[in-house]
A and B are shown apart, each in its own frame.
Chain A
């Protein structure tokens, strides 16, 4: 089991793991608040200023799975994997324009989730339920994938377990995570994110300087990657093939539209202390995108280094083992593993807030006290983690990857309810619900096939299925809203239906 263990790397790895565990528990006293209130436990009391938000959202959005999967895709297919770059360019104008506004409404009304907002805006609890369930179902496989990222680096440390022991380190890490998340809530990942993000910056900058020096510079790296792709053929290469351009564009647009709708992204945004903290972060967060672009290049370095990998997801760990001393590999692996813990904690908190607020409270136990609400959410955060662990332990990894892919297609379907809802009253709640359901069904239908694929044909080109289904969703929502309006039914306004008219009044309040 541990015969092949790289002791030097493993000690550094374990050392950092212990450090963040201590931080996770200590975090309960940071910016102290009554953790028996859901907004204190689940949103850190909305007290995170621009700096904390920068680390928290950076840790939340640029996850361990990203660090493993983006270079893996670039290693496997080349240019197409770079869609992550236009994707991360698109998200920040959207963050800047829409989310300070959402923050205002949520702060003034005491909302914690997207479902809360939709209920307040459209007065339709079924639409709120549909938005909440979409978020929950899309988040679960995402948490599971964080575990995949973590397991990759534990494997790379040389750990080979048999039977029940195969997943022992992962299970231990997750139990520890569950306990301190239960205790400290969002403050735990916020504090750990400082350590994680600084470590990621260090290891990425080291990698993009040290590895190219040993491989003869970037020119040589691109040359050998090009040779490898030419030998491989198919839809691979240093540039996009003609047929890949529309998939590249639509995948970037669709992923960008979905990103901030995930419960964990919203949790990070709503935990900010002011709309200005969010705007400043729309300016400062792209620093992580540069890091992501550099990480993507590691995929090409894999070819130049002559790595022959059966699983492209091993490219980052194997590069580090090949080019760095063991202690630094341990450091980089710890950064990736901690990079899994932070989003996993925020995702489970976001899911717990959503389940408690939009499923359990309105439909099962309407008379919950704030204390009961917080307790319920803490329990749910544990169940969510057990669920994610079970998916990884019991099912093939491919299952989680496929589900996460579908999750993205599903998540984007709540875009009209939330983002259009922020800016206009033209849509009717029931019409949006119909559009959402049809979007979910058509998106799933489009992706489903002999092999699950997010890229589907549309006329002469291929496009991202999520965006295709969203177009159907919007068409249905708009048509039904028009019919309802013409037939003279007054739309049922939520209690805050006027907020969209006075964003600045709300902002200054």
Chain B
């Protein structure tokens, strides 16, 4: 259902405490809080970026050897990277839930 525009402004008020991740310790000073939140964000960003960088390092896997079950490296490395990328995303998901 479309929310009627006139009821929006109050909902829009930014509640400072709400955007601090749970568990980041709200009693400590605001600067510390932001730092905690942002270092977690950096770690999560790095985790999500890793499989992307691996997938794009074409020079690293554009070769026949080593073979696996008859598959040239180019093929099995990319296929193997799919479940590996899932592990990275899963790690971020679990970090966020903690």
Contacts and interface: CB of A to CB of B under 8 A. Distances in A.
Interface in B64-98: 64, 67, 69-72, 74-75, 78-79, 81-83, 85-86, 88-90, 92-93, 96
Contact of B71 (A218, A289, A503): A218
Interface stretch (A4-12, A81-89, A194-202, A469-477): A81-89
Interface in A460-509: 495-496, 498-499, 501-505, 508-509
A47 interface: no
Contacts of B18: 502, 504-505, 508
Contacts of B2: 39, 110, 370
Contacts of A96: 48, 89, 92-93
Contact of A297 (B14, B75, B92): B75
In terms of DSSP, what is the predominant structure of the interface of chain B? helix
Given A39-B1, A86-B55, A93-B51, A283 B74 contact: no
Interface size class of A (residues with CB under 8 A): 35 or more
Contacts of A282: 89, 93
B21 interface: yes
Nearest to B54: A89
Contacts, number: 131
A239 B89 CA distance: 29
Contacts of A501: 14, 19
Contacts of A505: 14-15, 18-19
A289 B82 contact: yes
B63 interface: yes
A158 interface: no
Given A496-B12, A504-B21, A238 B74 contact: yes
A249 interface: yes
B67 to A, nearest CB: 8
B74 A82 contact: yes
B26 interface: no
A283 B48 contact: no
Contacts of A499: 12
A505 B88 CA distance: 25
5 contacts: A85-B81, A93-B88, A283-B86, A286-B85, A293-B78
Interface of A: 37, 39, 79, 82, 85-86, 88-90, 92-93, 96-97, 108-110, 217-222, 238-240, 245, 248-249, 252-253, 279-280, 282-283, 286, 289-290, 293, 297, 370, 495-496, 498-499, 501-505, 508-509
Interface of B: 1-3, 5, 8, 11-12, 14-15, 18-21, 45, 48-49, 51-52, 55-56, 58-59, 62-64, 67, 69-72, 74-75, 78-79, 81-83, 85-86, 88-90, 92-93, 96
> When A and B form their complex, which 8 residue pairs have the shortest distance between CB atoms, in order from nearest?
A219-B70, A505-B18, A218-B70, A110-B2, A93-B48, A86-B55, A502-B19, A89-B55
Given A93-B88, A283-B90, 11 more contacts: A82-B75, A89-B85, A96-B48, A108-B3, A110-B2, A218-B69, A222-B75, A249-B58, A279-B93, A290-B82, A502-B19
